[in-house]
Amino acid sequence: MNNNTALLGLLAETSIHAGAGQMAGVIDLPIQREAHTAWPVVYGSAVKGALRALADEQKAAWLTPVFGPETTNASDHAGALLVGDARLLLLPVRSLTSHFKWITCPALLRRFRADAERLGLPTFIAAAIPEVDDKDSALIPGELVSALFLEEFRFATQTTDLSAVIAALARLMGREDAIAALQNQLVVVHDDRFNHLAQFATPVNAHVCIDNKTKTVKTGALWYEESLPPDTLLYVGLHAQPTRVKGETKTAAEVLNHITKDLFARPYLQLGGNETVGMGWCKVTICWGRGLSDGS
């Protein structure tokens, strides 16, 4: 197996709506979620489609060998780039007593470290993952406060050393002030409390359709749409293999370089739907993995 891998950090700069395609409860257009955790996710097929669309927009000559042919010729050969799901790492949540907070939980951090190790980044979080034993407690890296309010929950705070976690998260964010911002805004909560906030603290917006003639709302034309808020942090694993095009050979390293070096001259990717109203813009940060000579 070829071990040419990389990790992409995706920091949302606008809201993201990667739709599930089916109604769930009162929300007409919910976002994609993992079946077993209900955590928000953007499926790998959607991420790969966004990467392919960007390559197509740039008229990249390597599009077909890397991503595979069009659907009508899909049986010709498979693409050489394997794209994972965009998994959640930090969720911005409003705080009733301070600036918004980035929340995560031990289960997310453990999974992130496991994913990084699989991609060849075994020291991405070198320290032990912090544990939260009480649902009403939260770990913070900065100055101790008497109480922290996130949505409807009140948390008793405990200070702890989160420097290793902050360093790993900052590396994915692509912001010069990432370490300072995380020092002020990072909160680690219990897995179960995170699960609740991840399900019920995401924005849900009402939309209407206007009749062009009367300029009033069409009868029954009201729907509710869920999204991931700006400042959400996701990450995506990439794995490259040699191309399968007959008569043309690219090594796995060459395939990966097309993404990490050629595709992101501007480090932005538009993910999910509602592109025409400015949704889905993410800042892309590339973290190197195995098989890259200038990796870390």
- Domain extent listing, the chain: 4-288
Residue located via tokens 């669309």: 53
Of 20-34, 51-65, 218-232, the one with minimum mean pLDDT is 20-34
Cα torsion for 264, 266, 267, 268, to the nearest 10°? -100
Confidence of residue 25 (pLDDT cuts 50, 70, 90): confident
Please state, as a whole number, how many other Cβ atoms lie within 10 Å of the Cβ of residue 278: 11
Residue located via tokens 């409807």: 152
pLDDT tens digit string along 27-60?
889 999 999 999 999 999 999 999 999 999 999 9
SS3 state at 221: strand
Report the first-to-last Cα separation within the chain, whole angstroms: 21
Q: Specify whether the CB–CB gap between 164 and 186 falls below 8 A.
A: no
Provide the pLDDT for residue 294: 43
SS3 state at 71: helix
Of 104-113, 129-138, 173-182, 207-216, the one with minimum mean pLDDT is 207-216
Of 65-79, 85-99, 109-123, 189-203, the one with minimum mean pLDDT is 65-79
Provide the pLDDT for residue 3: 60
Joined together, the tokens standing for residue 277 give 């109203």
Q: Report the predicted TM-score, pTM, of the whole model to 2 decimal places.
A: 0.93
pLDDT tens digit string along 115-144?
999 998 877 888 889 999 999 999 999 888
CA distance 107 to 99: 25
Residue 7 has pLDDT above 50, yes or no: yes
Q: Specify whether the CB–CB gap between 256 and 291 falls below 8 A.
A: yes
Provide the pLDDT for residue 175: 93
Please state, as a whole number, how many other Cβ atoms lie within 10 Å of the Cβ of residue 37: 17
CA distance 151 to 201: 7
Query: Residue by residue, what is the 3-state secondary structure of 227-265?
Result: CECCCCEEEEEEEECCCCCCCCCCCHHHHHHHHHHHHCC
pLDDT tens digit string along 151-173?
999 999 999 999 999 999 999 99
CA distance 256 to 262: 9
Residue 291 has pLDDT above 70, yes or no: no
Tell me the β-bridge partners of 285.
9
Stated as kind and residue range, the H or E segment containing 222 is strand 217-226
